[in-house]
Amino acid sequence: MTQRLCIARGHTLVEFVIAIALGLVVTAGAVSLYTTQRNVFERAGDAMRIREAGLTALTLIGQQLQMAGFVPADVVRFNSPPPLFGCSGGRPTGADDSVACESLPSRSDGVAVSYVADNISTWPSATGQSTDCLGQAVTNNSAALGGQGVMVVNRYFARVSGSTGEPELYCEGNGKAGSAQPLVEGVERVRLKYWLGGGLSAIDASAVRADQWAKIVAVDLCVLVRGTPQGRRLRYVDCDGVSAFGADTRARQAFWRRVAIRNHAEDLP
Task: Give the predicted TM-score (pTM) of the model.
Answer: 0.80
Q: Is 268 exposed, middle or buried (0-12, 13-18, 19+ CB in 10 A)?
A: middle
Coil, strand or helix: which one is 115? strand
Q: Strand 216-229 vs strand 187-196: parallel, antiparallel, or unpaired?
A: antiparallel
Q: Which among 169, 170, 176 has a CA at the least distance from the CA of 152?
A: 176
pLDDT digits (tens, 9 = 90+) for 90-114: 999 988 888 899 999 988 999 999 9
Q: What pLDDT digit, counting tens, does each position of 139-198 carry?
A: 865 545 555 678 899 999 999 988 888 999 999 998 888 889 999 999 999 999 999 988
Percent of the chain with pLDDT strictly greater than 70: 81
pLDDT of 268 strictly over 60: no
Q: Calculate the CA 24 to chain-centre distance.
A: 47
Tell me, what's the pLDDT at 254?
Answer: 95
Angle subtended at Cα 172 by Cα 167 and Cα 175, rounded to the nearest 5 degrees: 155
Give the count of beta carbons closer than 10 Å to the beta carbon of residue 4. Answer: 4
- Give the total residue count for the chain: 269
DSSP H helix total and E strand total for the chain: 1, 12
pLDDT at 267 over 50: no
pLDDT at position 220 is 96
Residue 34 has pLDDT above 70, yes or no: no
More confident residue, 86 or 118: 86
Q: What share of the chain is helix, strand, coil (3-state, %, to 5)?
A: 25, 35, 40
Q: What is the pLDDT of residue 10?
A: 54
**Partners of 184 in the β-ladder:** 169
Ordered DSSP codes for 87-111: ESSEEEES-TTS-EEEE-TT---EE
Task: Give mean pLDDT, residues 207-221.
Answer: 92
Q: Which amino acid is at 142?
A: S
pLDDT attached to residue 80: 66
Tell me which range, 18-32, 86-100, 127-141, 253-267, is most confidently predicted by mean pLDDT: 86-100
Q: What is the mean pLDDT of the chain?
A: 83
Give pLDDT, residue 265: 47
* Residue 142: partners with Cβ closer than 8 Å, 6 or more residues away: 80, 150, 151
Supply the pLDDT for residue 269.
40
pLDDT of residue 53: 94
68 SS3 class: coil
User: What is the DSSP-derived secondary structure letter of residue 50?
Assistant: H
Whose CA is closest to 161, among 101, 111, 112, 105? Answer: 105
Report how far residue 14's alpha carbon sits from residue 205's, in angstroms, rounded to the nearest whole number: 77
Residue 244 contacts residue 221 (beta carbons within 8 Å): no
148, 140 in Cβ contact below 8 A?
no
Question: How far is the C-alpha of 179 from the C-alpha of 64, rounded, in Å?
Answer: 18
